[in-house]
């Protein structure tokens, strides 16, 4: 009898003794697919469709799922939801938490998938996979998936400044190149659209064969200059907002100074780099240096199997803006901080390879420098040999 009792308590493929209702949200512009696994319903998952963006309809569906689970078991259960990080941002996550629902946002790339060359992929399959990942995560299984820490509305809004400036700079390059291309087709070179006397220059231009600029192409360039000047005004406004956000104080080590201001006080780090470093990465909470490197995508990715042991390079799975900025900053760090311990480590490593492998060494320096900046901003640990800007 004891053996029979033991066998009857063996777990099934999917646990049905759940203490909550587990729900996944597959989001799209037109519809939201809701997949749920409720207590008392066995191993079968339920699927419902909600109009995209209709929060009221979603909440009514959750109430219906709760009541259905209560009628089956006689108990009330909380709802735990999961959704993929994507274009919808974090507003749905905040709405769910405001309504007392436990919500999780997962990095979709961290969920294991079939490695077959051709594998089935539908919203229904993805919804069920999200529910299974949520179940494993709540059971405490390690490394089953990577949950995203949702930033606060203030943190999310602060990143807009540097990201908008990057977009505006790219648009400025497009307009400048378009103007130069139009003039080059007429045999004109050497025109600089970013100079203040750009319109006066345009009036005196002559084509390669000595003619004045044709009427229509001249009008097109004038309109391009109008858009370019508007972009330049927007760039100045964004840079003023960035400088106000940094708010550099006289004493950068006081508690009144912002962390971005302390970064900006280091020689070789300007206002733009300081704002990106703080807004994109260092404003977040990290438990250790490995998390810092992994968030920037600068963590190593070893490949070990039997006798095979090789390094594939950095993962590139983190924040691409932070990773790009750190690599650019590393080159500037070598020039502006030649006496620092990090620069000495880089030079010693490159010299040991007869001057080769500088690119791989600069990525390693970027990882070390990011960790050093994190310690400097978070704990006040001064970077060894680093020089501060003079007043």
The reply to whether 386 falls in a domain is no
**Res. 6 pLDDT band, cuts 50 70 90:** very low
Nearest residue to 362 (alpha-carbon basis) of 354, 277, 370:
370
At residue 4, does pLDDT exceed 70? no
Six-digit token string for 261: 């201001």
Matching residue, tokens 């190149």: 177
Other beta carbons within 10 Å of 27 = 17
Rounded distance, CA 157 to CA 233, Å?
A: 21
CATH of residue 144's domain is: 3.30.420
Six-digit token string for 264: 């900006």
The reply to whether 391 falls in a domain is no
At residue 10, does pLDDT exceed 50? no
E strands in the chain: 21-27, 31-37, 46-51, 79-84, 102-106, 147-148, 300-305, 308-314
Six-digit token string for 108: 């979709």
Q: Which pLDDT belongs to residue 225?
A: 97
Nearest residue to 276 (alpha-carbon basis) of 378, 149, 165, 387:
165
Mean pLDDT over the full length of the chain: 89
Strands 308-314 and 147-148: unpaired
Shared domain check, 52 and 169: no
Nearest residue to 383 (alpha-carbon basis) of 350, 344, 349:
344
**Domain interval for residue 280:** 259-379
Shared domain check, 78 and 144: yes
**Res. 15 pLDDT band, cuts 50 70 90:** low
Judge contact between 337 and 343, C-beta under 8 A: yes
The reply to whether 387 falls in a domain is no
64-86: pLDDT as tens digits? 999 999 999 899 999 999 999 98
- Domain end, chosen from 127, 150, 173, is at 150
User: Into how many domains does the chain fold?
Assistant: 3
Shared domain check, 234 and 161: yes
Bridge partner residues of 98 (DSSP):
none
Matching residue, tokens 């250790």: 288
- CA distances, 51 to each of 47, 202, 241 (Å): 14, 54, 38
Q: What are phi and psi of 272, to 5 degrees?
A: -65, -45
DSSP-assigned states of every residue in 76-118: ---EEEEEE-STTTTHHHHHHHHTT-EEEEE-GGGS-----SS
Shared domain check, 200 and 130: no
Shared domain check, 269 and 171: no
179-226: pLDDT as tens digits? 999 999 999 999 999 999 999 999 999 999 999 999 999 999 999 999
122-166: pLDDT as tens digits? 999 999 999 999 999 999 888 899 999 999 999 899 899 999 999
The reply to whether 337 falls in a domain is yes
User: What mean pLDDT is predicted for residues 224-235?
Assistant: 97
Strands 46-51 and 31-37: antiparallel
The reply to whether 251 falls in a domain is no
Shared domain check, 146 and 7: yes
The reply to whether 348 falls in a domain is yes
The reply to whether 11 falls in a domain is yes
- Domain end, chosen from 246, 269, 284, is at 246
Shared domain check, 50 and 161: no
């Amino acid at each position: 009898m004891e053996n029979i009792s033991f066998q009857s308590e063996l777990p099934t493929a999917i646990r049905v003794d759940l203490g909550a209702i587990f729900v996944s949200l597959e989001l799209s512009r037109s519809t939201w697919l809701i997949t749920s696994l409720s207590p008392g319903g066995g191993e079968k998952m339920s699927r419902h469709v909600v109009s995209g963006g209709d929060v009221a309809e979603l909440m009514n569906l959750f109430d219906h799922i709760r009541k259905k689970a209560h009628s089956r078991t006689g108990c009330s259960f909380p709802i735990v939801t999961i959704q993929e990080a994507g274009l919808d941002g974090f507003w749905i996550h905040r709405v769910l938490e405001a309504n007392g629902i436990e919500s999780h946002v997962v990095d979709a790339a961290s969920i294991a998938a079939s490695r077959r060359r051709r594998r089935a992929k539908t919203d229904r399959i993805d919804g069920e996979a999200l529910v299974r990942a949520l179940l494993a995560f709540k059971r405490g299984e390690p490394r089953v998936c990577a949950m995203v820490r949702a930033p606060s509305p203030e943190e999310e809004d602060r990143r807009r400044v540097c990201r908008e400036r990057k977009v505006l700079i790219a648009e400025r390059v497009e307009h400048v190149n378009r103007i130069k291309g139009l003039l080059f087709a007429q045999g004109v070179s050497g025109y600089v659209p970013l100079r203040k006397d750009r319109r006066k220059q345009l009036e005196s231009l002559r084509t390669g064969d000595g003619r004045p600029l044709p009427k229509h192409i001249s009008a097109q360039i004038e309109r391009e200059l109008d858009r370019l000047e508007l972009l330049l005004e927007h760039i100045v406004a964004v840079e003023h907002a960035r400088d106000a956000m940094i708010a550099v104080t006289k004493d950068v080590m006081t508690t009144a100074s912002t962390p971005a201001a302390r970064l900006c006080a280091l020689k070789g780090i300007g206002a733009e780099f300081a704002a990106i470093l703080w807004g994109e990465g260092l404003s977040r909470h990290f438990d250790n240096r490995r998390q810092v490197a992994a968030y920037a995508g600068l963590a190593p990715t070893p490949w070990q199997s039997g006798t095979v042991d090789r390094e594939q390079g950095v993962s590139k799975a983190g924040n691409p803006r932070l990773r790009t900025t750190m690599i650019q900053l590393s080159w500037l760090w070598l020039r502006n901080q030649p006496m620092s311990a990090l620069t000495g480590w880089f030079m010693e490593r490159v010299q040991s390879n007869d001057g080769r492998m500088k690119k791989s060494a600069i990525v390693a320096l970027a990882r070390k420098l990011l960790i050093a900046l994190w310690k400097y901003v978070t704990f006040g640990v001064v970077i060894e040999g680093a020089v501060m800007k003079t007043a």
